[in-house]
Structure 1
Amino acid sequence: MTRLRLNGFAALLLVAVGVALVRGIPVATIPDVLSEGIGDQIGDTMLTIGLGAMVGRVMGDAGAAQRIAGKLLDAFGPRWVQVAMVVTSMLIGVTMFYEVAFVIIVPIAFTLVWVTGAKLLWVGLPMSIALSTMHSFLPPHPGPTAVAAAFHASVGLTLFYGLFVAVPAGALIALTWPRLPFVARMTPAIPKGLVSDREFTDEEMPGLGWSLFVALFPVVLIVAAAVTDMAASGDSPFLHAVAFVGSAPIALLLTLCLAVWAFGPRIGRSLSDVGASCGSAAQAMAMILLVIGAGGAFKNVLVEGGISDYIKDVTDGWSISPIVLAWLVAVILRIALGSATVAVVTASGVALPLLAGSGVHPEVMVLAVACGSIAFSHVNDPGFWLFKEYFNLSVIEAIKVRTSYTTVLAVLGLGGVLAVEWVLDALSL
């Protein structure tokens, strides 16, 4: 991709086939391994990203995104637009997956760029960094939640301790990275088809109430489902209904239906105009989804090739702090496999035997593994491609920006986790 300028979709598939051959995966089963990886990855992300992009475009073409962006500017001022993005992203990102929150907030970031004339990364990068931090560090996101279950740790305490690590680390990197010279020199343009370039008058834009209601509707549904899942247990029809409505694809589908009406017939726009907005968003997402799917194929080849088992066997005998070991194994697996969830689950299997006699609080071990899983995001991470394509960067530029910020976040996270354990030990004396 970097030397031959080969398309990312083709490059990832070629490398996946090559690795499969080197790792001894039977030739006859390689197509099935690739298809399974693509299916798993696209199944997880296509509905979320596709529906989210449509909601964002419908809001943008109706002026709702401009209305919200304008109110954020009024509240924070152009000088503090990065703070506005960090605060918004952290509040939404506490319970929402990175990809879901990203596609919901990014139209507002694009509109802020367009209205203020600021650089795309100046506004968009703080949003992405804040969302990455919330998603990787904290439950109820899938990785930390799965590790908390393996360590028999309290999800509530893990979230409480994690906020003391995630919020300062995420805010520090979010406000620092856009100012670094190598980032400031990058001037990507907003990708075509993902945002409206029309400037609306105040009379043409929908009201702030409807604009916020539609934007926050999926957030409320997903948060309600997450809180209900943590607070209640059982097998009642009500809990099943809440979980169904609060799942990301269903929440976004309901939001799209609401947006089509609220920013279509309700304000005098025809359904054909709204449909054209949805179609434009779908066309813009095609290559993003293809590359994300190919990244899933590459990841599945690495998993089927036994990379995670090899790393687990090698690190089993290391005699270092269990906190540092758990973090380091998660980092190595993240580099090798790309999937943060696979990295944290496998790393928890390595660290679990060390927890019993170590005296380390299980919640702290969960955070150590979770922090390690954010490091070194690169071409085998689907989130890398979402970041690259939405911010219109080359592969090298995306590696410089995203790989660097995720790695520094992981290191800061480890420092914060060690500090939390020290404080907890001091309080228990």
Structure 2
Amino acid sequence: MELLVLFLGIMLLLLLIIKFKLNTFVSLVLTAMVVGVGLGMPLTKIATSVQNGIGGQLGELSIVFGFGAMMGRLVADAGGAFRIAHTLIDKFGKKRLQIAIMLASFIIGIALFFEVGMVLLVPIVFAIAVEASVPILYLGIPMAAALSVTHGFLPPHPAPTAITSALGANAGHVLLYGVIIAIPSVIIAGPLFTKVARKMIPDAFARQGNLTALGPQKTFKLEETPSFGISVVTSLFPVILMAITTVYQMLFNGGSLPKNPTLLDSIIGFIGTPAIAMTISLLLAMYTMGWGRRIKTPEIMKTIEEAVKSIAMLLLVIGGGGAFKQILIDGGVGDSVTTLFAHASLSPLVLGWLIAVVLRIALGSATVASLTAAGLVLPLMQSAGVNPALMVLSIGAGSLAASHVNDAGFWMFKEYFDLSVKETLATWTVLETLISIVGLIGVLLLSLVV
């Protein structure tokens, strides 16, 4: 009964978003309430669940996403991202351009949300492709692969951070295992897939791209941008802080904060929590990309305000996903899934991936697919004793699969690279699915040793 209500609820969500073009946040909250009624929950309990779901989801995450967006925008507006891309390309040379683009996209992708990273990197990719006389898509595929991997696997990005919180996983472990899985995923879905795609759809590689889709472009003189070292350190600072905490705790405390921590234990544990790591990183970015370059405070604040505007709706969508997740948990859907698969030979990690894949295909949004899947597999994960960090990555991998016409990323890639829908399905959709499959294989291999 509960699973039937869940199915009908997802159908309703699809109908509201795709057919009636209703806002995703509004659709999620309405669907959560209708599903709550369908599950026979007391009406007052439905209201409480929705409130708790939104509040619980956005508690710590509002700082992580808000400060993360501000930090990324400061790096971008100061020309830090421009410097990173150009320096790597100069160092690697024309023969290894794809590796340079992947590295630049990976570093920039950690600091910026996927859509912002795409908008920022596409003009750089276009300029380099023209200069080096290579097809734009030859560099575009590795760029998109690197951005997607950071978006799906690595905190402080929305989906991995949100499900890390929902499943009670250690953010440092998610980051460490995520980087291990990310490397082969980017290589396979980037340079290796480009070779295959070039033979399958040669016409797509003849396209000149469409920069007008990006609107007015900010231009930089390389000598006026921050140095490469400062730009990289600023972009990666949240990751550096979380990595320090993870490595320290793994070496000295068996992977977690001890019951009676010393002052050093407490300080290192403190700086590695996502919210504190982002706060420290934002302060650093305000200095390195602002005050340290003699930019006045009002101008820095203007950049920060613009960044907040760009993520306001994303925050609400994540809150709405949290409301839906909470209704599924409180209404007993999670328990029904646990019962259904209690005697199945399927690994909970594979199940989490499969649920996320189905939701991703149905809903389009990787973040919503991740959060809904997390709510469904939480009881199963606890009963099976699965490593929460691996479950986060399994769901994250599933949430990237088979991006198609209901995903904003699909249309961005199509427009920027001037492709037909068929060509976008053969490039973008395939590379996203490759990342998803390689990600799952990586998680299953890691589960044998951690």
TM-score by length of 1: 0.70
CA distance in 1, matches of 2:446, 2:229: 41
Structure 2 residue aligned with 1:356: none
1:223 aligns with 2:232: no
| Match for residue 274 of structure 2 among 248, 259, 264 | 248
Structure 2 residue aligned with 1:4: 20
Quick one: which amino acid aligns to residue 316 of structure 1? A
14 and 404 in structure 1: CA distance in 2 versus 1, 3 angstrom threshold: farther
Structure 1 residue aligned with 2:146: 127
Structure 2 residue aligned with 1:311: 337
Deviation at 1:271, TM superposition (A): 1.0
55 and 372 in structure 1: CA distance in 2 versus 1, 3 angstrom threshold: closer
| Match for residue 348 of structure 1 among 381, 384, 400 | 381
1:325 aligns with 2:355: no
242 and 34 in structure 1: CA distance in 2 versus 1, 3 angstrom threshold: same
Deviation at 1:51, TM superposition (A): 0.7
What do residues 15-55 of structure 1 show as CA deviations (whole Å, max 9, x unaligned)?
11111110111111222111111112212422111111111
Deviation at 1:388, TM superposition (A): 8.5
What do residues 371-426 of structure 1 show as CA deviations (whole Å, max 9, x unaligned)?
64345428xxxxx9997899899xxx9xx89997666555445556777899x9xx
176 and 45 in structure 1: CA distance in 2 versus 1, 3 angstrom threshold: farther
Quick one: which amino acid aligns to residue 199 of structure 1? T
390 and 14 in structure 1: CA distance in 2 versus 1, 3 angstrom threshold: farther
| Match for residue 122 of structure 2 among 113, 127, 130 | 113
1:280 aligns with 2:300: no
Deviation at 1:348, TM superposition (A): 3.5
190 and 301 in structure 1: CA distance in 2 versus 1, 3 angstrom threshold: farther
| Native 8 Å contact 1:102 1:128 kept in 2 | no
CA distance in 2, matches of 1:47, 1:389: 29
CA distance in 2, matches of 1:63, 1:409: 29
Quick one: which amino acid aligns to residue 20 of structure 1? G
| Native 8 Å contact 1:113 1:123 kept in 2 | no
- Within 5 Å, which residues of 2 pair with 1:168-187? 168-175=184-191
Gaps of 5+ in 1: 94-99, 149-154, 353-361, 379-383, 425-429
CA distance in 1, matches of 2:193, 2:211: 16
Q: Which stretch of the first structure deviates more once superposed, 1-10 or 214-223? A: 214-223
Deviation at 1:343, TM superposition (A): 5.7
213 and 256 in structure 1: CA distance in 2 versus 1, 3 angstrom threshold: same
| Native 8 Å contact 1:81 1:123 kept in 2 | no
Quick one: which amino acid aligns to residue 339 of structure 2? D
CA distance in 2, matches of 1:257, 1:366: 28
Structure 1 residue aligned with 2:30: 14
- Within 5 Å, which residues of 2 pair with 1:18-417? 18-76=34-92, 82-84=98-100, 86-87=102-103, 101=110, 103=112, 110-117=119-126, 122=141, 124-131=143-150, 134-135=153-154, 142=164, 163=180, 167-175=183-191, 197-233=217-253, 234=258, 235-318=261-344, 320=345, 324-331=346-353, 334=356, 338-339=370-371, 342=375, 345-351=378-384, 372-374=394-396, 376-377=398-399, 409=435, 411-412=437-438
TM-score by length of 2: 0.67
CA distance in 1, matches of 2:248, 2:81: 30
Q: Which stretch of the first structure deviates more once superposed, 245-254 or 301-310? A: 245-254
374 and 121 in structure 1: CA distance in 2 versus 1, 3 angstrom threshold: same
CA distance in 2, matches of 1:279, 1:421: 42
What do residues 106-154 of structure 1 show as CA deviations (whole Å, max 9, x unaligned)?
7665433122325797465312432366449x9xx959x9789xxxxxx
Q: Secondary structure at the match of 1:72?
A: helix
402 and 247 in structure 1: CA distance in 2 versus 1, 3 angstrom threshold: farther
406 and 325 in structure 1: CA distance in 2 versus 1, 3 angstrom threshold: farther
Q: Secondary structure at the match of 1:203?
A: helix
| Native 8 Å contact 1:260 1:274 kept in 2 | yes
CA distance in 2, matches of 1:174, 1:65: 20
Q: Secondary structure at the match of 1:2?
A: helix
Calculate the aligned-residue CA RMSD, in Å.
4.7
87 and 65 in structure 1: CA distance in 2 versus 1, 3 angstrom threshold: closer
